[in-house]
Structure 1
Amino acid sequence: MALVTSLGSASGLPLATLLSNITVAENAPLNALTNQQTAYNSKLSAYGSIQSALSALQTAAAQLGNPTLFQSVAPTSSAPAVLNATAGTTAASGSYLVNVSQLAQAQSLATPGVANTATTIGSGTVTLQFGSISGGTLDPVTGKYSGAAFTADPTRAAASITINSSNSSMAGIRDAINQNKALGVTASIVNDGSSTPNRLVLTSNATGATSVMRISVSGDTALSNLLANDPAGTQNMQQTVEAKNAQMTVNGIAVTSTSNTVKEAVQGVTMTLTGTGNSTLSLQTNTASVQTAITNFVTAYNSLQTVSKQLTAFTADANSHSYSQAPLAGDSTLRNIQMQIRDTMNTPQPPLAGSNGAPLTMMAQIGVTFQADGTMAVDSTKLTAALNSNLSGVQNLFSSASGKTGVGSTMSTLLTSFTASNGPLKTATNGLNSSLKTLAAQMTSTQSVISTTIARYTKQFTDLDSLVASMNQTANYLTQQFAAIDGSSK
């Protein structure tokens, strides 16, 4: 029997073609399941795109539904070199004349000079207390007080450091002070160019007249002579910068602050003082942020419309008499979501009680309208006019303290329900995932049946190929024998 190396090659029968055709036919059910799997996965991906677009719209709606958006004001300083300002949610519109006569300062004290910062000075305990000075006079040349009283700040506990052989030089004392954050001061060494040029300078980390330093030393006399400083007693250090409060007037009212960051001198406003002089602080309702939020909402809605249109498209080709459809063409879940969104946006809002002029109940009244293609457009001129003339009405149109009325509030709630764990999108995707799981099991089973069937046909065709080849050989042999017999009889 001839060796069969390729199906049909021995017998001359088209067995390979026949088996290929049978394989195609047997795979038809599996191909149908594969196409269905592809369609389900495309639909899952499409739902993901819709959820992303809905989430973006919900974020924009939530911003419009937040009443604080409409309460914000934008501060403007006529003299940024004097002050800048930021406004919180409690700030109200208004104009304020601010005169800054003095900036807050942090006190600095300097020790007598030493020749070498590595030379040992002495050991002991250095204690620092913050407080304020009253009475007495300050000599501007020596930087020392006479006849003054010191009152410790009861809200700030005294702090101490220990000076010993490991840190008894000026450089060591500086490092020890800087390592102890509880002291509330920063130490540095300044070279003044004299014969004993190195002076240790201590600067309070806090500004204001209540941050005057009183330093007491217990231990070696040399250490005390360097650092001990009581503004109401012995002062071994020189005050080089006086502790001062910021002083200003707001519309003629005197204001004092320990810091150059002044909070609530004007309600809801934080002023940062940068210099002395006059500045007009203007607080105007920040309609620009409201206009941006409305524009962002319209943009997010239009993006949802664009995505939805792409995912529900149905295209027919008249020439080839064929058609194609997007994954969500005719999808009821998306159609219901779109209908609810449109209905909510077209529902008139309760008018604002006591409002002047025509009440704002529909977005079209402020220039936000639907177009023929289902998208929205903003008439910037009309919107700006509405914001400038009736901001409270615009706020009522989009938001409420209860969150139950207003386009922004109700849309935010509705969109949240769509994307929630028990929402329609989740229900739809859960159904698809369940179908895909079932489909995968069917495909595995179908593939097994196909493989068994093709294996059976392969074996049968291989046997047939061998049998026919053997019969062909026998026929050829007999033909040769008969031909030989016939030839010998002549």
Structure 2
Amino acid sequence: MANSLATLSNYGRQLWEASQPLQLSTSANVFLQRTTTSSAPSAVTAQAQPGATLATYTMSISQIATAQQNMGLALTSAAATGLAPGSYNFNLQTGGKTYSLSFTVNSGDTNLTVLTNMAKAINAAGAPVTAKVATDTVAGTSRVVLTAQNTGTSNAFTLTDVTGNAVAYSGANTVSVAAANASYTLNGVPYTSTSNTIYLDNRKLSLNLLGTVTNATITVTPDTQAINNAINNFVTAYNNLVTFTAQNSQYISPQLLSILKQSYSYQAANLAAIGITQNQNGTLAINQTALTSALQNNLGLVETAFSGVNGLAVSAGFNAQQIATNPLTTFANPLPQLNTPYLSSYNWWGFLNTANLWSLLLPPGSFFNQLV
């Protein structure tokens, strides 16, 4: 009996957990989950947070935001640098801020060494600009490449020599890709943005601009696949609990099985209409074709059947919570073979309060929790 009641509690917890996504009062409410589709996924994609407004947006993109990139002159890597030994100072201006940079050229330094030290000075400054040295091993040349970390014209940058001519010699201030803002229309209204990530609907919807496009549509819909998965998980957990309860009736109160079966009856008509029927043994069967059709065409009915007043997930979830959290002996089947002169009163569920029963079953000094 102890093992059966412990397993019953485990199945109850599984059903309780499986019911949570199908209840409107929980944070895991699957009916709030969203999915998005784009008619032009190569140009714009979208992600929706739970509770995002169900809607369709029309977008045209004439320009995506770009980050500035500078590409210096190709200098012979192994050749002695044309810069005289000494300290070289230069400024990097971006975002209204000036960064003062410097590095040293030593006698005998090659162009590769000079460009590497220059890139290190830029990266060490903490500016939102990244520098690297690109080397063409076939041509035997190297050049410094600078890239803004953020897109948009407000993140453009310039370099100017202060002491010496390292910027001019390296060509580091040569713009190869100009900074640009994104330019687009949303539902016919024009906008610009320094970023290619656009937030809408109180940041519950984000759009990612990837390329130019005309009249692309982005649609936010309920995540019917997530709901379908939650329902299938719930039915599996429900059937496991009902089946185990029936198979262990010698240990488990028969009233529990009756209560579990009754959970279906409250919304029987709506559940049948969406493809969820009850077998004679109390387990549930899913007509997947009918359920898929209901999810696509009558989601409100699905929500009512599971999450409305006396919905299956609400009612069965409550029962499962009681099984998982009440003392195991709450659901024990009275053992008529025991000649007990007195059995204590039944609790509000109608199940036996079996504290006295366990005192007869266990030897003196034993505790029920030592058995499970």
Fold conserved between structures, TM > 0.5: yes
Q: Deviations over 1:421-452 (max 9, x none)?
A: xx233878998899488469xxxxxxxxxxxx
Q: Does 1:214 align with 2:176?
A: no
Picking from 376, 397, 412, the partner of 2:284 is: 376
Residues 45, 216 of structure 1: CA spacing in aligned structure 2 closer, same or farther, 3 A cutoff? farther
2:61 matched residue in structure 1: 100
Question: Counterpart of 1:59 in 2: which secondary structure?
Answer: helix
Question: Counterpart of 1:347 in structure 2: which amino acid?
Answer: Y
Residues 85, 225 of structure 1: CA spacing in aligned structure 2 closer, same or farther, 3 A cutoff? same
Once residues 55 and 63 of structure 1 are traced to their aligned partners in structure 2, the CA distance between those partners, rounded to angstroms, is 14
1:259 matched residue in structure 2: 195
Unaligned stretches of 5+ residues in structure 2: 333-353, 368-372
Question: Counterpart of 2:260 in structure 1: which amino acid?
Answer: I
Question: Counterpart of 2:103 in structure 1: which amino acid?
Answer: I
2:342 matched residue in structure 1: none
Once residues 343 and 83 of structure 1 are traced to their aligned partners in structure 2, the CA distance between those partners, rounded to angstroms, is 49
Is residue 60–residue 186 contact of structure 2 (8 Å, CA) maintained in 1? yes
Residues 122, 384 of structure 1: CA spacing in aligned structure 2 closer, same or farther, 3 A cutoff? same
Residues 223, 284 of structure 1: CA spacing in aligned structure 2 closer, same or farther, 3 A cutoff? same
State the aligned residue count: 331
Question: Counterpart of 1:70 in 2: which secondary structure?
Answer: helix
What are the within-5 Å matches in structure 2 for residues 34-433 of structure 1?
43-66=1-24, 68-116=29-77, 122-123=86-87, 127-131=91-95, 152=96, 163-164=103-104, 169-178=114-123, 182-191=126-135, 197-215=141-159, 218=162, 220-223=163-166, 225=168, 237-264=173-200, 268-278=204-214, 279-312=216-249, 329-332=250-253, 335-347=254-266, 362-399=270-307, 406-420=311-325, 423-425=326-328
2:346 matched residue in structure 1: none
Shift of 1:372: 0.6
Residues 122, 364 of structure 1: CA spacing in aligned structure 2 closer, same or farther, 3 A cutoff? farther
Q: Deviations over 1:97-126 (max 9, x none)?
A: 322222221101233454447857753565
Is residue 245–residue 259 contact of structure 1 (8 Å, CA) maintained in 2? yes
Question: Counterpart of 1:377 in structure 2: which amino acid?
Answer: A
Once residues 393 and 186 of structure 1 are traced to their aligned partners in structure 2, the CA distance between those partners, rounded to angstroms, is 55
Shift of 1:303: 1.9
Report the identity percentage. 27
Shift of 1:371: 0.6
Question: Counterpart of 1:264 in structure 2: which amino acid?
Answer: L
Shift of 1:192: 7.2
Question: Counterpart of 2:20 in structure 1: which amino acid?
Answer: A
Is residue 60–residue 213 contact of structure 2 (8 Å, CA) maintained in 1? yes
Is residue 247–residue 256 contact of structure 1 (8 Å, CA) maintained in 2? yes
Residues 284, 226 of structure 1: CA spacing in aligned structure 2 closer, same or farther, 3 A cutoff? same
Q: Deviations over 1:337-359 (max 9, x none)?
A: 444433444335xxxxxxxxxxx
Unaligned stretches of 5+ residues in structure 1: 1-42, 132-151, 228-234, 313-328, 349-359, 441-490
Question: Counterpart of 2:241 in structure 1: which amino acid?
Answer: L
RMSD (Å), alpha carbons: 4.0
Once residues 379 and 428 of structure 1 are traced to their aligned partners in structure 2, the CA distance between those partners, rounded to angstroms, is 32
Question: Counterpart of 1:86 in 2: which secondary structure?
Answer: strand
Is residue 66–residue 409 contact of structure 1 (8 Å, CA) maintained in 2? no
Shift of 1:252: 2.2
Shift of 1:77: 1.8
Residues 221, 371 of structure 1: CA spacing in aligned structure 2 closer, same or farther, 3 A cutoff? same
Question: Counterpart of 1:123 in 2: which secondary structure?
Answer: strand
Shift of 1:195: 10
Residues 112, 123 of structure 1: CA spacing in aligned structure 2 closer, same or farther, 3 A cutoff? farther
Shift of 1:388: 3.8
Question: Counterpart of 1:89 in 2: which secondary structure?
Answer: coil
User: Higher helix proportion, which one?
Assistant: 1
Q: Deviations over 1:248-295 (max 9, x none)?
A: 222322232222222228974322223222333233333333233222
Larger radius of gyration: 1
Is residue 96–residue 251 contact of structure 1 (8 Å, CA) maintained in 2? yes
What are the within-5 Å matches in structure 2 for residues 15-34 of structure 1?
none
Residues 175, 249 of structure 1: CA spacing in aligned structure 2 closer, same or farther, 3 A cutoff? same
